[in-house]
């Protein structure tokens, strides 16, 4: 196994997924849930993110080409999804546990597009395209799994923060997380638009 490549992939994906930055969003979305459901949401989100990244690593370019979808379009779609979630957080609709289930939260937006978002997908696809043998593929796979384990550990043990913040603190955290999500969504859409414009002005 190529340890240098392992380190590059691990650091790159760790920075993109940003486990510490995910904590306030995760707690805002799962705050009303019981500890057991919150833990289940953590591993479901990580499992989905791992599955999505692996699928795109193996067949991402083929899949996008078949659907005639460019990466900026995928990025814009992720941004729109985050806008919807951000609005729910900012308006308080996400606070009602009857309006959400653990699996829904784990799938969208935690699993995708937050963890397995355009950045992680594109980075993984580029690393796979540059790989030159089974040793490189093994290094990339090991790094992806290591990152997902790190993310799961951070989310799994973030539940202790809920006891400190209490309901009032969770409500404030929810609004802040909504604002952060809205900013991330706008940035994703802006980058996608810029990529589209650049592509049309400078066609390959």
User: Looking at residue 202, what DSSP letter applies?
Assistant: S
For residues 119-141, b (16+ Cβ closer than 10 Å) or e, as one string? bbbbbbbebbeebeeeebbebbb
The yes-or-no verdict on residue 106 having pLDDT over 90 is no
Two structure tokens written together for 179: 């604002």
pLDDT digits (tens, 9 = 90+) for 89-99: 788 665 554 55
pLDDT digits (tens, 9 = 90+) for 16-50: 898 888 888 898 888 778 889 999 999 999 999 99
The yes-or-no verdict on residue 70 having pLDDT over 80 is yes
pLDDT digits (tens, 9 = 90+) for 74-91: 888 888 888 887 887 788
The residue among 125, 126, 100 whose CA lies nearest residue 41 is 100
pLDDT digits (tens, 9 = 90+) for 146-170: 999 999 999 998 877 777 777 777 7
Vertex 137, ends 128 and 12: CA angle to 5°? Answer: 60
């Amino acid at each position: 196994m190529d340890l240098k490549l392992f380190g590059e992939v691990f650091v790159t994906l760790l920075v993109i997924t940003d486990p510490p930055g995910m904590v306030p969003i995760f707690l805002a979305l799962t705050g009303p849930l019981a500890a057991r459901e919150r833990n289940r949401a953590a591993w479901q989100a990580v499992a989905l993110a791992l599955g999505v990244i692996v699928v795109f690593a193996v067949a991402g370019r083929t899949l996008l080409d078949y659907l005639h979808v460019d990466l900026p379009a995928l990025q814009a779609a992720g941004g729109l999804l985050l806008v919807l979630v951000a609005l729910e957080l900012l308006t308080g609709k996400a606070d009602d546990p009857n309006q959400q289930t653990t699996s829904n939260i784990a799938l969208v937006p935690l699993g995708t597009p937050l963890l397995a978002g355009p950045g992680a997908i594109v980075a993984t696809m580029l690393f796979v395209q540059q790989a030159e043998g089974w040793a490189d593929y093994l290094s990339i796979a090991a790094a992806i799994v290591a990152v997902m384990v790190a993310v799961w550990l951070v989310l799994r043990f973030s539940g202790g923060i809920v006891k400190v913040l209490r309901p009032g603190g969770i409500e404030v955290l929810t609004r802040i997380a909504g604002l952060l999500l809205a900013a991330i969504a706008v940035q994703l859409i802006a980058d996608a638009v810029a990529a589209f414009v650049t592509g049309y002005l400078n066609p390959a």
